[in-house]
Amino acid sequence: MWEVKRRLQPRRALQNLKRLKTPSGRLIYLYLYYNQPQTFTGMRRTLDISKKTLAKALKKLLDESLITIDKEYLYWTTETL
User: Cα dist. 22→3, 34, 51 in Å?
Assistant: 26, 19, 16
pLDDT of residue 34: 87
Domains of the chain plus CATH, in order, are 2-80 (1.10.10.10)
Query: Tens digits of per-residue pLDDT, 29-80?
Result: 999 988 989 999 999 999 999 999 999 999 999 999 999 999 988 999 886 5
Query: Tens digits of per-residue pLDDT, 6-39?
Result: 555 677 788 888 889 999 999 999 999 889 899 9
pLDDT of residue 9: 62
Q: Using CA atoms in the order 43, 34, 18, 14, what is the torsion angle rounded to 10 degrees?
A: 180
pLDDT of residue 81: 39
pTM for the predicted model, two decimal places: 0.81
DSSP string, the chain: -HHHHHHH-HHHHHHHHHH--SHHHHHHHHHHHHS-SB-HHHHHHHHT--HHHHHHHHHHHHHTTSEEE-TTS-EEEGGG-
